[in-house]
């Protein structure tokens, strides 16, 4: 038998299959990612990440500003509260002192009213204070007259 070449041993079906395989390989080679494609993809990914990080930084700065404002307001409120507490305590002390003074004045007024009832004639005894002061003397004198009789 004579030696046959590999191309002659292949059938036409095998040849189309080889042609199909070659075309498929070319198509696959075209679909494969190249170094330039990877570089482009990496650069795009870096841009997206950088944009996201920049956005996050802006949000963080905005939140930081808000937090500083809240802390400032809280400090102002605490300072105002401390001043109000001090003023309230001072007012309470003043009210207590005024209450004591009022009670003292009220008690003094009552004592003066009691003392005044002995020395001041009542309207029932007329407008003559000397006559009112003579009443106890007359009563004593009258009592002594009754005892003698």
Distance CA 138, CA 10 (A): 170
Distance CA 39, CA 64 (A): 37
Render pLDDT for 2-30 as a digit per residue (tens, 0 to 9): 555 555 555 555 567 888 888 888 888 88
Q: Give 1's pLDDT tier (boundaries 50, 70, 90).
A: very low
Q: Give 113's pLDDT tier (boundaries 50, 70, 90).
A: confident
> Token pair for residue 94?
């003043």
Write down the residue that tokens 């950088």 correspond to.
50
Q: What is the pLDDT of residue 28?
A: 86
Tell whether the torsion through CA atoms of 45, 46, 52 and 55 is positive or negative: negative
Residues 125, 132 contacting (CB under 8 angstroms): yes
Q: Give 115's pLDDT tier (boundaries 50, 70, 90).
A: low
102, 108, 110, 114, 131 from 121: Cα distances, Å? 29, 21, 18, 13, 9
């Amino acid at each position: 038998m004579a030696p046959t070449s590999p191309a002659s041993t292949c059938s036409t079906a095998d040849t189309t299959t080889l042609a199909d395989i070659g075309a498929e390989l070319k198509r696959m080679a075209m679909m494969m990612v190249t170094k330039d494609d990877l570089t482009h993809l990496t650069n795009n990914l870096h841009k997206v990440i950088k944009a996201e990080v920049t956005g996050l930084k802006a949000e963080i700065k905005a939140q930081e500003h808000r937090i500083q404002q809240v802390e400032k307001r809280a400090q102002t409120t605490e300072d105002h509260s401390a001043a109000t507490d001090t003023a309230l305590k001072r007012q309470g002390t003043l009210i207590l002192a005024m209450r004591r003074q009022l009670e003292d004045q009220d008690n003094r007024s009552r004592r003066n009213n009691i003392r005044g009832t002995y020395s001041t004639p009542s309207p029932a005894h007329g407008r003559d204070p000397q006559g009112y002061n003579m009443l106890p003397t007359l009563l004593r004198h009258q009592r002594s007259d009754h005892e003698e009789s």
